[in-house]
Amino acid sequence: MTWGLHTYWRFARGMTLGVQAAILDDQAQVFLIRHTYVPGWHLPGGGVETGETALDALIRELREEACISIDGPPRLTGIFFNRRTSPRDHVLVYVIREFTVLEAKQPDREIAEAGFFPLANLPEGTTAATRRRLAEILDGEPLSATW
């Protein structure tokens, strides 16, 4: 399914743009999701649709994937070229520290599991890219240009 969508986007769009969020709470935890269609634990987010701002996409995706609303201004951390998805894909990563959990995220067709995890004990299967973004945000690791 993912391959088919990205193949479609490759021809239908000049460039794809996505947004993801490192949602960090006061207990040194981060919100992660596990999709039904791709392995691993990821930061929540998704694609920016035609006519949509990056911020609007971030707000929409966090409501859909995490049941979380943003209460304060998100901080843009970086823009990353994601060549593994397509030769045209870029991802904007934001840090969110002010938010409201609207309800517990229940599994659905897209999200198999979701929740907060201690930064010191991320779940097995947390993707390398997710770990890199968190190291850049929290540990001052040099910002990469690629996903």
The count of other CB atoms within 10 Å of the CB of residue 80 is 22
Mean pLDDT, to the nearest integer, of 43-66?
Answer: 97
pLDDT at 129: 96
Q: Which residue did the predictor score with more confidence, 46 or 7? A: 46
The whole-angstrom separation of Cα 62 and Cα 57 is: 8
Written as one string, the DSSP assignment of 21-54 is: EEEB-TTSEEEEEEESSS-SEE-SEEEPPTT--H
What are the residues facing 34 on neighbouring strands? 41, 113
User: The whole model's pTM is what?
Assistant: 0.88
pLDDT at 6: 60
Residue 147 has pLDDT above 70, yes or no: yes
Mean pLDDT, to the nearest integer, of 100-108?
Answer: 97
Query: pLDDT, tens digit, for every residue of 112-139?
Result: 999 999 999 999 999 999 999 999 999 9
Mean pLDDT, to the nearest integer, of 78-96?
Answer: 88
The count of other CB atoms within 10 Å of the CB of residue 48 is 22
Which amino acid does the sequence have at 21? A
The count of other CB atoms within 10 Å of the CB of residue 40 is 16
Using a pLDDT cut of 70, give the percent of the chain over it.
90
pLDDT at 2: 62
Q: Which CATH superfamily is domain 2-139 in?
A: Nucleoside Triphosphate Pyrophosphohydrolase (3.90.79.10)
Exposure letters 96-122 (e unless 16+ CB within 10 A, then b): beebeeeeebeeeeebeebbbeebeeb
Query: pLDDT, tens digit, for every residue of 16-50?
Result: 999 999 999 999 999 999 999 999 999 999 999 99
Sequence-distant contacts of 53-61: CB under 8 A, at least 24 apart: 54/17, 54/19, 54/92, 57/18, 57/19, 58/19, 58/21, 58/92, 58/94, 61/19, 61/21
